[in-house]
Amino acid sequence: MKKYWKLITLTIIIMAGIGTFYIYDSLAADAYPAFTIETNSGNEEVIENLLINAHYGTGQNIQPVQITKDEAIYANERSFFERLDGAYLSPERKHLQENYRNFMRGKAIYGSFYEDEEYLVYANVNIDTSALEARSSSIEVSMLDKGTDETTSFVYDIPHSSEVNHVALQDVQLVNDNVTLITQNHSRSQGNLAIHVYEFDAQSHELIREESIISDQAQEQNQFTDMFMLNETDPMSSKDYAVFRNVVREEIRNNDGTYSHEEISNELIAYNLESGKIEDITLTEELKEFGRVNLFDGTNLYFTKSIENGLEVVSYNIKDKKIENEMTVELDQVESSQAPSFPMVNEGGRELAHLTVHDKNLYILSRIGNVEEPADLIVIDLETEETIYEGEISEKGQNRDSDEKYELTITGIEVN
């Protein structure tokens, strides 16, 4: 054996170095704080399916983490194969990949999905970038009949025109057995942004209707339009309305030679999917002063305004054109200078809270910058306007140095 001592030493170095590295890896779970949602009062059932997306860490080493009622799972704790398909990233994707594995093959993750009891619909706009001059786009639709487990697909080539330069899919819905697509169409020339509707017969795959429902309001050379659809709390579900924000800004040359933008108009526009008509949303002067919430659950719009000791929340029903709820929520606020993400209350760069709505319950999570300060979670029943749950994100078993500089940044909440 004496002859082999060098080789044996090398083997020991390999085992010791690499072995410890990966054994430590399996124990690494302990290195990150175990955040959970701790209930202070109320029924825990309402947070059973609540998911908080966050980042944990400092500087170079930031770990995405998902916090639920009982556990916090860090991205690097996921198995290699789990990470590959990214199903864990969103419960929606997980649901689709697990239940419709074959249908989901070859479906672009940035495509749109619609799901009801009978059908699962996928739509995507493919842009042929191989032709530089005239970009040809096509709409790809796949429909799964859940009853028969049959998939039908069709492709519609968007007629080539110099008008349309880029088509961005906003949503797909199944309305009266017709596949309805809402797109944002850009044209080559300036000031030509429009929201389009494409409607296909689900059986014959014929294009029934193609219409521009909102067109560009910019009048002058120096005016710019920003037109986008409000995110919904559950983008895959059937809904009555699609809501758009249409903002026109004007570029103003300052005295010092720099440019700034000034808002000329800012309106909310509702599109009734059933009737195919635009409906105006006329807000009271008071509501217009509220912060610009982009929260929309398919029926109601939610406006929030920060007040001294919390939030004022107003929900507006588009169909009935009336205010449904009006209430104040007490909240400890934590200030932050982080860039905003949606949907959440955002006032002048100051993030106040993350919001979501599920089953007529409003979920509010006060944003936090530092793990030392627990974030409050409040659930309000919108029908009774009563707080039915109160809790906080807290760290289970503090097993790290209190003076280590770490930070938990919450990026969003969702209930499924």
Question: What's the gap between Cα 130 and its chain centre?
Answer: 31
By CB under 8 A, the residues from 143 to 202 that bind other proteins are none
Q: How many Cβ atoms sit within 10 Å of the Cβ of residue 252? A: 11
322 binds other proteins (CB under 8 A): no
Helix, strand, coil percent values for the chain (each to nearest 5): 15, 50, 35
Determine the interface stretch with other proteins among 101-109, 154-162, 302-310, 356-364 (rule: CB under 8 A). Answer: 101-109
Tell the smallest beta-carbon distance from residue 371 to other proteins (Å).
Answer: 15
Tell the smallest beta-carbon distance from residue 357 to other proteins (Å).
Answer: 32
Tell the smallest beta-carbon distance from residue 74 to other proteins (Å).
Answer: 11
Q: How far apart are CA 147 and CA 1, in angstroms?
A: 70
Torsion on CA atoms 297, 299, 304, 310, rounded to nearest 10: -70
Tell the smallest beta-carbon distance from residue 83 to other proteins (Å).
Answer: 9
- Of 387, 368, 371, nearest to 379 by C-alpha is 387
Cβ 201 vs Cβ 178: under 8 Å = yes
130 binds other proteins (CB under 8 A): no
Choose which of 2, 41, 79, 384 interacts with other proteins (CB under 8 A).
79
Tell the smallest beta-carbon distance from residue 24 to other proteins (Å).
Answer: 7
| Residue closer to other proteins (CB basis): 79 or 203 | 79
- The 8-class DSSP code of residue 371 comes to T
Tell the smallest beta-carbon distance from residue 134 to other proteins (Å).
Answer: 23
24 burial via Cβ count (<10 Å: 0-12, 13-18, 19+): exposed
404 binds other proteins (CB under 8 A): yes
Choose which of 2, 41, 61, 348 interacts with other proteins (CB under 8 A).
61
Choose which of 44, 70, 71, 85 interacts with other proteins (CB under 8 A).
85
Torsion on CA atoms 161, 163, 165, 169, rounded to nearest 10: -90
| Residue closer to other proteins (CB basis): 59 or 348 | 59
Determine the interface stretch with other proteins among 72-80, 234-242, 300-308, 362-370 (rule: CB under 8 A). Answer: 72-80
Backbone angles phi, psi at 399, to 5 degrees: -120, 40
Backbone angles phi, psi at 362, to 5 degrees: -100, 125
31 binds other proteins (CB under 8 A): yes
Q: Which residues bind other proteins (CB under 8 A)?
A: 3-4, 6-7, 10-11, 13-18, 20-22, 24-25, 28, 31, 58-61, 76, 79-81, 84-86, 97, 105-108, 404-405
